[in-house]
């Protein structure tokens, strides 16, 4: 069945998953449903200890068995040890047919590929996958399906009961013996536990794994003891160097600086750029540069940001230090400066649900004026692809891309026209991950295209001196330089689904095929 972004979703996949095709952004707006709840074992006595000696013991106590779904969070990013430690133990115990429900998976998790190959892991739900797991999935090694969801979409799936997490594993930088987890302190400081909060709320069993056990009460808890069954102390939950890095040096790449300047000029000429505006940006070089250049104009014009949102980095947190923003709302910390900034009382932790969940009564993304995003590919319908590389391999994550793009009044995608010999602006993206209706502006180093659906923005820019072009013109320039690339060749078998934030199917990902010349 053809969906609202023109993708043909196989009937068989609709049948297997019980899902609908994507019908457009606000198809589920106003939808009513009953939230799911976890199976909870009451602790009324005052003598039980939650401490267990090992992950093995926790798994035994949680009655791990074939077919279960463990939950994981990705706040330790490329420094995460939790997924591998838990999966190694599950594998040792001979458990099969596991569905991993992770907020994201990356290169740190390459060691679990053998467990995909041997049927220990048969399904994956994740914002995305990078590294060897992505290759394994694209090569058809996963028996079941990889469902790629946005950060908000994962919360939705869990809240509706579509995904039921049997056992959540919370990597906790600090934890007390009764399970109060905090994202800060200890030796594996990740700042926040935003993505894990929904696991705490909805998983039947919750296991906190820490390398820094602290006295009760470890307050204010980011995940409460009232949701935690067991606490395991281990030597290390992550590699601090890869959890939060030092601040990225501002880019000196002229192309990125130019796109950043275009972006800033665009932002300041919209009607949304006024005192009290709100703003989110990613961690790419151009995004960071645009935050820096925007802050200069804010200072010149005496315009103050009400709140910034993220995935935070130093340049965003600097807006607090320089008193140019009232507050920051934080779901993830990318560098040590952002972690440090959490000491500032204007820097607030928010859950992934508060951030981006489309199925609650209103998330922060709905209140965004601007979001600055990147993309691997953008097509002439403004559809974006942030998950599948142009060679067809799963290599990225949806993250908050579709959530923020849908919510923000002005969603700007920055992409260099060419990535090496690959055009980023094309006729049709390899895989649709964010629908064109969410994307208002595309900024490239060769010009800027405004979505024709946003005549108000086109009107606002009519006297602005920026290199505006149509999206087709940008595509044509790209193709004129590097030629129109041959389409990636796939086999029929569907290996993954790009799930829209509302749970419908945006696109499918098929098994990669060795390129054959026609």
- Tell me which residues touch a copy of itself (CB under 8 A): 25-26, 28-46, 48, 50, 159, 178-179, 206, 215-217, 219-220, 224-229, 276, 306-307, 327, 329, 348-350, 353-354, 357-368, 406-409, 502
Identify which of residues 130 and 401 has a Cβ nearer to a copy of itself in the complex. 401
Q: How many Å apart are CA 163 and CA 70, to the nearest integer?
A: 11
Least gap, CB of 442 to a copy of itself (angstroms): 20
Least gap, CB of 7 to a copy of itself (angstroms): 21
Alpha helices, DSSP H only, in 314-428? Answer: 314-321, 336-341, 352-356, 401-407
Identify which of residues 180 and 395 has a Cβ nearer to a copy of itself in the complex. 180
* Residue that has been written with the tokens 């993250």 in this structure: 399
The encoded tokens of residue 114 equal: 């053998």
Q: How many Å apart are CA 94 and CA 376, to the nearest integer?
A: 39
Identify which of residues 72 and 230 has a Cβ nearer to a copy of itself in the complex. 230
108 touches 242 (CB < 8 A): yes
Least gap, CB of 25 to a copy of itself (angstroms): 7
Identify which of residues 60 and 481 has a Cβ nearer to a copy of itself in the complex. 60
Least gap, CB of 350 to a copy of itself (angstroms): 8
Least gap, CB of 283 to a copy of itself (angstroms): 22
Least gap, CB of 432 to a copy of itself (angstroms): 19
Identify which of residues 454 and 510 has a Cβ nearer to a copy of itself in the complex. 454
Least gap, CB of 151 to a copy of itself (angstroms): 14
In degrees and rounded to multiples of 5, residue 338 shows phi and psi of -70, -40
Identify which of residues 2 and 44 has a Cβ nearer to a copy of itself in the complex. 44
Identify which of residues 191 and 238 has a Cβ nearer to a copy of itself in the complex. 191
Least gap, CB of 276 to a copy of itself (angstroms): 7
Q: How many Å apart are CA 479 and CA 481, to the nearest integer?
A: 5
Q: Which residues contact 241 (CB under 8 A, 6 or more apart)?
A: 79
Identify which of residues 151 and 469 has a Cβ nearer to a copy of itself in the complex. 151
Q: How many Å apart are CA 386 and CA 405, to the nearest integer?
A: 13
Q: Which residues contact 70 (CB under 8 A, 6 or more apart)?
A: 86, 90, 98, 100, 101, 165, 166, 167, 168, 169
Least gap, CB of 356 to a copy of itself (angstroms): 10
For the beta carbon of residue 2, count every other beta carbon within 10 angstroms. 9
Identify which of residues 274 and 421 has a Cβ nearer to a copy of itself in the complex. 274
Identify which of residues 228 and 257 has a Cβ nearer to a copy of itself in the complex. 228
68 touches 90 (CB < 8 A): no
- Please give the distance of CA 11 from its chain centroid, rounded to a whole number: 28
The encoded tokens of residue 450 equal: 């405004």
Kind of pairing between the strands at 447-450 and 441-444: antiparallel
Q: Which residues contact 424 (CB under 8 A, 6 or more apart)?
A: 375, 376, 377, 378, 415, 416, 417, 418, 444, 478
Looking at residue 488, the DSSP 8-state letter turns out to be P
| Dihedral sign, Cα of residue 357, residue 363, residue 369, residue 370 | negative
Least gap, CB of 153 to a copy of itself (angstroms): 12
Alpha helices, DSSP H only, in 244-363? Answer: 254-268, 285-301, 314-321, 336-341, 352-356
């Amino acid at each position: 069945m053809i969906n609202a972004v023109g993708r043909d979703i196989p009937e068989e996949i609709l049948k297997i998953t019980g899902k609908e095709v994507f019908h457009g952004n606000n198809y589920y707006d106003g939808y009513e449903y009953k939230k799911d709840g976890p199976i909870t074992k009451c602790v009324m006595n005052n003598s039980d200890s939650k401490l267990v000696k090992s992950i093995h013991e926790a798994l035994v106590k949680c009655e791990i068995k074939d077919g279960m779904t463990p939950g994981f969070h990705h706040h330790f990013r490329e420094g995460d040890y939790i997924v591998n430690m838990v999966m190694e133990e599950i594998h040792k115990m001979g458990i099969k047919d596991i569905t991993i429900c992770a907020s994201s998976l990356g290169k740190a998790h390459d060691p679990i590929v053998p467990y995909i190959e041997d049927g220990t892991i048969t399904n994956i739900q994740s914002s995305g996958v990078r590294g060897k797991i992505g290759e394994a999935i694209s090569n058809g090694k996963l028996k079941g399906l990889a469902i790629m969801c946005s950060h908000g979409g994962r919360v939705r799936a869990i809240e509706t009961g579509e995904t039921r997490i049997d056992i959540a594993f919370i990597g906790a930088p600090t934890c007390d013996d009764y399970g109060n987890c905090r994202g800060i302190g200890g030796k594996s400081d990740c700042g926040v536990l935003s993505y894990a909060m929904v696991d705490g709320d909805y998983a039947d069993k919750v296991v906190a794994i820490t390398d820094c056990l602290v006295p009760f009460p470890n307050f204010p808890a980011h995940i409460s003891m009232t949701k935690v069954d067991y606490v395991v102390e281990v030597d290390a939950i992550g590699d601090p160097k890869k959890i939060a890095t030092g601040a990225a040096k501002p880019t000196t790449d002229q192309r990125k600086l130019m796109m950043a300047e275009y972006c800033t000029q665009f932002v300041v000429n919209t009607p949304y750029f006024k005192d009290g505006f709100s703003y989110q940006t990613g961690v790419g070089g151009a995004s960071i540069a645009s935050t820096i250049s925007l802050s200069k104009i804010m200072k010149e014009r005496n315009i103050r940001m009400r709140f910034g949102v993220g995935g935070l980095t130093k340049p965003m947190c600097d807006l607090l230090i320089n008193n140019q923003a009232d507050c920051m709302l934080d779901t993830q910390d990318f560098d040590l400066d952002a972690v440090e900034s959490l000491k500032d009382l204007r820097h607030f932790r928010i859950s992934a649900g508060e951030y981006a969940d489309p199925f609650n009564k209103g998330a922060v993304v709905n209140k965004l004026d601007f979001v600055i995003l990147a993309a691997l590919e953008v097509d002439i319908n403004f559809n974006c692809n942030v998950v599948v590389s142009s060679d067809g391999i799963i290599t990225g994550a949806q993250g908050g891309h579709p959530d923020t793009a849908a919510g923000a009044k002005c969603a700007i995608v920055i992409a260099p026209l060419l990535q090496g010999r690959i055009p980023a602006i094309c006729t049709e993206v390899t895989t649709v991950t964010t629908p064109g209706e969410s994307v208002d502006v595309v900024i490239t180093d060769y010009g800027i295209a405004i979505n024709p659906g946003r005549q108000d923005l086109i009107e606002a820019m009519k006297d602005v001196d920026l290199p505006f072009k149509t999206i087709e013109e940008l595509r044509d320039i790209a193709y004129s330089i590097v030629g129109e690339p041959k389409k990636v060749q796939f086999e029929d078998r569907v290996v993954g689904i790009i799930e829209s934030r509302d749970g419908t199917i945006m696109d499918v990902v098929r098994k990669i095929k060795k390129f054959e010349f026609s």
